[in-house]
Amino acid sequence: MACRIPARALWQSSPRLALIPRVTSQGPRWTRHYTTPAESQNRTAIVTGSARGIGKAIALRLAQDGYDICVNDIPANKSGAESVVSEIKNLGRNAFPFMADVSNLQEVENMVSASVSELGPLNTMVANAGIAQVKALLDLTEQDLKRMFEVNVYGVYNCYSTAAKQLISQSTPGKLIGCSSIVGFKPFPLLSHYSASKWAVRGLTQAFAMEMARHKITVNAYAPGIVGTAMWDLIDEELGKIDGRKKGETIKKYTDELIALGRTSVPEDVAKVVSFLSGPDSEYVTGQTLLVDGGIIFT
């Protein structure tokens, strides 16, 4: 017949075992200063697509957090970018506009060089710029797919890779942050190629996080939900045409039926999450895509 001896009794009865020291919890012996410079140091960020909407809110929030900002957008939005620069300067931070199409690698490289020249060493890249299109899958053209991926996928890659090379050349840690979407987790009808591009952003973010970790560069993304911006105005209008709804009714329907918190997001909701990802409290977060959708998608 087997005899079971309680582990505690065995410990207490064996002189030899009693001499083995017990492992006790100890505090950390050192602190890792990872990717965020001290607040006393100059910090710089590039925010793409920041002439309006979510990008503008991010640029202003990072300025409030103590960053000097390169405000990027395409030439058609130059006046908006210049206005954001003025707002940032009124907050007491330095800023300048740089017009570039993120789908063009050479223009992104020029933008990063200009930012370093104007503001100092780079710390954070926010690859926010993107486009959307409402169209049925079987109606998509080759050019529709090509342009969507040029901006939303190649654009993020261009920003991540160019900023990473700059950070490595500086021998400094840093942060790469990209824009995904709720549709990067679950596609919406008539937003198929947009959804696919945002899934790709999640994949790039995870891959970059793995390869950049040894350089002390963290890489994360944020995934907005239904936000009151020009992009969602377009989505609302086009979906309304298909479903026979008036302008504003589609967003209201989605808000009422899908969002747990019961309200449409505003750009500042997203900017708060990016503030976290660019700040010191996210030092041990990498390879993640954080949803900020009021409770549409749960992970």
Backbone φ and ψ for 217, nearest 5 degrees, come out as -115, 120
> Nearest-CA neighbor of 181 among 223, 149, 132?
223
Any idea where the domains of the chain sit in the sequence? 40-226+266-292
Contacts of 204 (CB under 8 A, 6+ apart): 153, 156, 157, 160, 178
Q: Identity (one letter) of the amino acid at 108?
A: V
Per-residue pLDDT of the chain (299 residues; tens, 9 = 90+): 455 545 444 444 444 444 444 444 454 444 445 556 555 578 999 999 999 999 999 999 999 999 999 999 999 999 999 999 999 999 999 999 999 999 999 999 999 999 999 999 999 999 999 999 999 999 999 999 999 999 999 999 999 999 999 999 999 999 999 999 999 999 988 899 999 999 999 999 999 999 999 999 999 999 999 888 777 787 778 777 777 888 888 888 888 899 999 999 999 999 999 999 999 999 999 999 999 999 999 99
Catalytic annotation, pick one of 194, 222, 254, 284: 194
Spacing of C-alpha 230 from chain mean position: 19
One-letter identity of residue 257 = E
Say which residue the tokens 């899934």 belong to.
199
194 catalytic, yes or no? yes
Tell me phi and psi for residue 36, to 5 degrees. Answer: -110, 120
The fold for domain 40-226+266-292 equals Rossmann fold (3.40.50)
Instruction: Supply 201's token pair.
Output: 């952003």
Q: Which residue has the tokens 């654009």?
A: 155
CA angle in degrees (0–180, nearest 5) for 185-186-187: 120
User: How far is Cα 179 from Cα 204, in angstroms, rounded to an integer?
Assistant: 11
Alpha carbon 9 to chain centroid, angstroms: 54
pTM: predicted TM-score of the whole model, two decimal places: 0.86
